[in-house]
Amino acid sequence: MMGGMTDLPRKAAARTARLAALPLGYAGRQAVGLGKRLGGKPADAVLTEVQQRTAEQLFRTLGELKGGAMKFGQALSVLESALPEEVTAPYREHLTALQDSAPPMPTATVREQLTTHLGDDWSERLVWLDGAPTAAASIGQVHRARWRDLAVDSEEDRDVAVKVQYPGAGEALMSDLRQIARVARGVAPAFPGIDIKPLVAELQDRAADELDYHLEAEAQAAYAEAFADHPDIVVPAVVAVGTEVLVTEWMDSAYSLAHVIRDGTQEERDHYGELFVRFLFEGPRRTGMLHADPHPGNFRVIPGPDGGLGQLGVLDFGAVARLPQGQLPEAMGRLIRIALDSDEESLVAGLRAEGFIKDRIEVDPALLLAYLAPFVEPADQERFTFTREWMREQFERVNDPRSETFTLATKLNLPSSYLLIHRTWLGAVGLLSQLGASVPFREILEESLPGFAED
């Protein structure tokens, strides 16, 4: 049995125990909070304190785990901009750290994975392998290496990135996601405005695709070919693939968008935010697929020749939506345009035709326009500035039970064909809000979103 695999049952049990303890910790803090309220401390102050401590425990736990725990933490981190500032500020460091890092696996395990999935002769092609990972994430880590193509009579080696899946990652991923689904209700109150249950359900639905490196290699190769001539977007080509090992060309980059979120200038935020949006919408037009994992660690800054503004590199194609018509739905662009024109009757009819409003369900058209603000407002100006404040306002308006738009939301349906598109859009808006980027959103939609451009 592969080294490290024998520890899987023990490690899985430890992960399960730590995840299961999260709602117990929340319940305990609630009890302490009740005592403080009885002692005269204001209820809202107690609630904020309980939320802060619960979230801090959750993200510290997720940050020390791999598998589904890490994946869940990364998904939540993209939506961090929607959480109230007083809740996120104390643990933002724990949360954003999940976007760019994870504990590494031992070098011996890496070599065993390479032997199993690239063959016994892998060292003849990988003539040098850095023992320390350059990046680590939820289900695998990346090493820099040099590759020699034995099929070509050449002594020239090329730099490559070797992505190695953690042994037993599939089992750990699904086990963690099942456990998180069970404890989601217990920790959900710590995250006002974010519906935890469907987020976990979607992660479960797409987990199998993310574990399949052959499927990921197919998607990345298509993107690399489609963007080969793009002046601003870089996608590394695929060199070799095994079931749990993926070798791609090396991409020299300075840091990820997580760094720009923390320390970037406004010029950097606007520049890389715009490139991110262009990639998001040009991808489906060029490949028929949607890159559906918009967290900052997947997007790398490649500085210009003078160290100034440069290109945007894109990594990790494990989560892509293969679009049925080979493009984003034409109705999506058309309905956003109708909403911009405030054509209430046509908007209701169009949403009903697409399955967003079921038969015999009646909605208030004016409220519907208000509900769609996160999808419509960015396209209503020449340049739209995404901010954490704007993002929080959208979430609070839609998720406040006292709000009319909250009642409207319970009447709407999300067709399965739009599920991943919807989640990607929200994740992208969350990332842009973290960046605080000013972006020519309308211009990009006119260029790349079917149905949006005016005749």
The half-sphere exposure of 423 on its side-chain side, counting CA atoms within 13 A, is 26
Q: Among candidates 35, 36, 34, 33, which has minimal Cα distance to 50?
A: 33
Q: What CA–CA distance (Å, rounded) separates 46 from 29?
A: 10
Q: Which of 183, 303, 287 is nearest to 228 (CA)?
A: 287
Last residue of a domain, one of 188, 211, 234: 211
Sorted by sequence, the CB contacts under 8 Å of residue 327 that are 6+ apart come out as: 284, 285, 288, 450
For residues 225 and 289, the answer to whether their CB atoms sit within 8 Å is: no
Mean pLDDT of the chain: 79
> How many domains are there within the chain?
2
Share of the chain above pLDDT 70, in %: 70
Last residue of a domain, one of 166, 196, 211: 211
DSSP 8-state class, residue 401: T
Complete DSSP assignment for 280-313: HHHHHHHHSEEE----GGGEEEE--TTSSS-EEE
Q: How far apart are CA 27 and CA 186, in angstroms?
A: 8
Please report the pLDDT score of residue 185 as a whole number. 62
Q: What are phi and psi of 322, to 5 degrees?
A: -85, 105
Stretch among 23-27, 298-302, 381-385, 429-433 having the lowest mean pLDDT: 23-27
Q: Has residue 294 been placed in a domain?
A: no
Gap between the Cα atoms of 82 and 200, Å rounded: 17
Classify the phi-psi angles of 258: left when phi > 0, otherwise alpha if psi is within -120 to 50, otherwise beta. Answer: alpha
CB contact at 8 A, 259 and 372: no
CB neighbours of residue 426 within 10 Å: 21
Per-residue confidence at 384, pLDDT binned at 50, 70, 90?
very high
Q: Which of the listed residues 190, 211, 232 is the one where a domain comes to its end?
A: 211
Question: Which structure tokens are listed for 209?
Answer: 């695709």
With a cut of 60, say whether residue 218 has pLDDT above it. Answer: yes
Instruction: Map tokens 């305990």 to a residue.
Output: 28
Residue 31 lies in a domain: yes
Residue 323 lies in a domain: no
User: 263 phi and psi, to 5 degrees?
Assistant: -130, 5
Residue 177 banded pLDDT, cuts 50, 70, 90: confident
pLDDT at 42 over 80: no
pTM summary value: 0.77
Evaluate whether 344 touches 368 at the Cβ level (below 8 Å): yes
pLDDT at 128: 94
The answer to the question of residue 308 being in a domain is: no
In a domain, 258, yes or no: no
Report the C-alpha gap between 162 and 241 in whole angstroms. Answer: 9
Token output for 308: 């100034």
Domain that holds residue 114: 1-211
Q: How far apart (Å, rounded) are the C-alpha atoms in residues 385 and 404? A: 26
* pLDDT at position 114 over 70: yes
The answer to whether residues 195 and 338 belong to one domain is no
Phi, psi of 299, deg, nearest 5: -120, 120
Please say whether the dihedral angle defined by the alpha carbons of residues 18, 77, 356 and 366, taken in this order, is positive or negative.
positive
In a domain, 229, yes or no: no
Say if strands 320-322 and 289-291 run parallel, antiparallel, or are unpaired. Answer: antiparallel
In a domain, 252, yes or no: no
Place of tokens 């038969």: 359
- For residue 104, give the DSSP letter: P
Which of 40-44, 171-175, 202-206, 421-425 is predicted with the least confidence, judged by mean pLDDT? Answer: 40-44
Weakest mean pLDDT among 105-109, 172-176, 216-220: 172-176
CA distance 215 to 136: 20
| 130-134, 264-268, 404-408: the lowest-pLDDT one | 404-408
Task: Find out whether 184 and 197 touch, Cβ atoms under 8 Å.
Answer: yes
3-state secondary structure at position 109: helix
Q: Where is 136: in which H helix or E strand? A: strand 135-136
DSSP SS3 for 426: helix
* 29 & 162 share domain: yes
pLDDT for the residue 135: 80
Q: Identify residue 379 by its one-letter amino acid code.
A: A
Least confident of 379-388, 394-403, 408-417: 394-403
Residue 420 pLDDT more than 70? Answer: yes
DSSP bridge partners of 312:
233, 301
Average pLDDT over residues 55-64: 57
- Whether residue 268 lies inside any domain: the answer is no
